[in-house]
Amino acid sequence: MSDLHCPATLLVARHGDAEYGHPSVLSDEGGWLTTRGREQVRALGQSLGDRRIARVYTSPLQRAVESGELVATLLDVDAVVVEGLEEFSVGALAGRPHDDPELASVFKAWMHGDPGRFIPGGESGADVLRRYREALQAIADQHRGETVLVFSHGGVMSFALPRLADPVRQDLVARAFLPNCGAAEVRVDADGFDVVTWPGSIDRSVV
């Protein structure tokens, strides 16, 4: 491991476009990449050819694992699954419509400074932020002075990444909609986390 003051660079990307077995309702299922999703992942991999990616990390959910494995093959590096990078669980709300008002209320509370709220049968915002920060920190600690690619998920990224440092990056919060394979560049050193670039938009249609 290099000196702690030597930053690790994490390119944290949303997985490629995916399909699901129950697409019309809330679910924690892993899904799988569509043809479009695979094209998005390949394009991301090609765009990173000069970044000297040391390793690819993914959440345990299948759509992220497939994204990581595909781009790792393109970049000729390993792909490693890491617990803690996954999307927040919908818990007991599984099976409800995507626009379920209870889930929307909890997520809105998280985004507006009340991370203590729980999704019924699932996590609180504080739980999500804690495990996400710990997962990214563990990756960074292995890659001081290097750049890695991390595949994660739009909801957890839009909530957690702007809150990795204190104070909350409100400029990032305002651009909460993340496209598939959009990557945020996050530098991590002994002073903490710094989100250098952000792929988010105020336009929901990019999701």
Kindly state the average pLDDT of the residues 82-101: 97
Q: Which pair of structure tokens corresponds to residue 36? A: 């479009």
169 compared with 5, residue with greater pLDDT:
169
Q: Any idea what DSSP says for residue 16? A: P
d(CA 71, CA 198): 20
User: Which helix or strand (DSSP H or E) is residue 54 part of?
Assistant: strand 53-58
Q: Which pair of structure tokens corresponds to residue 86? A: 């996954």
d(CA 110, CA 127): 11
Q: What is the pTM of this model?
A: 0.96
pLDDT at 143 over 70: yes
Residues with Cβ within 8 Å of residue 88, at least 6 apart in sequence:
119, 122, 123, 128, 155, 156, 159
Q: Which of 26, 73, 78, 30 is nearest to 57 (CA)?
A: 78
Q: What is the chain's mean pLDDT, rounded?
A: 96
d(CA 35, CA 19): 10
Query: Which structural domains are found in the chain, ordered by start?
Result: 8-206 (3.40.50.1240)
